[in-house]
C-alpha cells in the first residue's frame, strides 16, 4: 500500500533482520527505518494501521484500508457514547484498581 506522510509527521518502522557478523555467525538485530514528511512509502496494512493518523493514502488499496478503519472507529465512538458502556468501563477500571490495591476495597452492601 502506498501512502504519503502528512506534514509535520515522521514514521519510524521497526523490524528484526538477520545479520552476519565478521565471524560468519548469524544474529538477529533490530532495524529502524525513518520516513519523513511528504515522503511516499510502500508499507503493509499491519504497519499502516499503527500510523494511520500520519498517512495520506496514495492508491486504491490504501484508500480502502483507511475507509474500513474509519468505519470501525465510528462504531467504537458510537458505543463509547452509550451511557451503559461508559458505566461498565468505569466499573471494570475501578475493580481492576481495587485488585491492584490502588483504590480501597468497595463497601459491602
* Model confidence, pTM: 0.64
Give domain limits for the chain: 2-100
The set of residues, in sequence order, having a beta carbon less than 8 Å from that of 20 and lying 6+ positions away, is 26, 27
Beta strands 2-5 and 26-35, pairing class: unpaired
Beta strands in 2-90 (DSSP E): 2-5, 11-20, 26-35, 40-42, 55-57
The sheet that has 2-5: what strands, in order across it? Answer: 40-42, 2-5, 55-57
**pLDDT tens-digit profile of 75-105?**
888 888 888 988 998 999 999 999 998 888 8
Q: What are the two backbone dihedrals, phi and then psi, of residue 74, each rounded to the nearest 5 degrees?
A: -60, -40
Q: What's the chain's Rg over C-alpha atoms? A: 22
Percent pLDDT > 70 in the chain is: 97
Amino acid at each position: 500500500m502506498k501512502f504519503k506522510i502528512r506534514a509535520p509527521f515522521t514514521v519510524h518502522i521497526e523490524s528484526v533482520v538477520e545479520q552476519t557478523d565478521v565471524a560468519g555467525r548469524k544474529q538477529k538485530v533490530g532495524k529502524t527505518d525513518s520516513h519523513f514528511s511528504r515522503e511516499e512509502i510502500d508499507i503493509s496494512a499491519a504497519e499502516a494501521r499503527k500510523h494511520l493518523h500520519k498517512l495520506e493514502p496514495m492508491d486504491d488499496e490504501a484508500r480502502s484500508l483507511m475507509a474500513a478503519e474509519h468505519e470501525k472507529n465510528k462504531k467504537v465512538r458510537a458505543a463509547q457514547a452509550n451511557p451503559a458502556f461508559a458505566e461498565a468501563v468505569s466499573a471494570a477500571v475501578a475493580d481492576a484498581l481495587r485488585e491492584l490495591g490502588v483504590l480501597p476495597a468497595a463497601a459491602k452492601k
